[in-house]
Amino acid sequence: MSLKTPLGRVLGLGSAKQGTDHWWGQRVSAVALIILGSWFVYALLRLDSLTYLDVIRFIGMPLNAVLLSLLSLTLTYHSYLGVQVVIEDYVHAPGTKVVSLLLSRFAHAFVAIAAVYAILVIGIGS
């Protein structure tokens, strides 16, 4: 038997002891997406045209390749956090919830790796 009050046992821990990390991750990635997304729109508007060769040349510049990679990684991370919340809130069957969370994690990791790989191939190849 513990002498701590119920409030003392849970104070500062959150429901799963990691709620604040998730919340901060969403907010920080949202701010990063605003900055990187604004850069991306600005950069696309500055292109002479959106032809295949112009876009390949744009991605081939080292700074653009790095910023596009950061945009892709941040976008997939932010999406993963959002999908995770939806699954945790609306999928109630324990087995289905675990499978859905695993599939979501693998799908988001695959998309992030594929995006960075494509940017690297275009950047190195041009």
Which CATH number does the domain housing residue 114 bear?
1.20.1300.10
Residue 119 has, within 13 A of its CA and on its CB side, a CA count of: 21
Q: Domain of 15?
A: 6-125
Number of domains in the chain: 1
1 found inside a domain: no
Tell me, yes or no, if the pTM score tops 0.75. yes
Instruction: Give the total residue count for the chain.
Output: 126
Encoding tokens for residue 65? 């390749």
pLDDT along the chain (126 residues), means of 10: 66 62 93 98 95 94 96 98 95 94 98 97 84
Q: Count the helix, strand and coil residues of the chain and give each as a percent rounded to the nearest 5.
A: 80, 0, 20
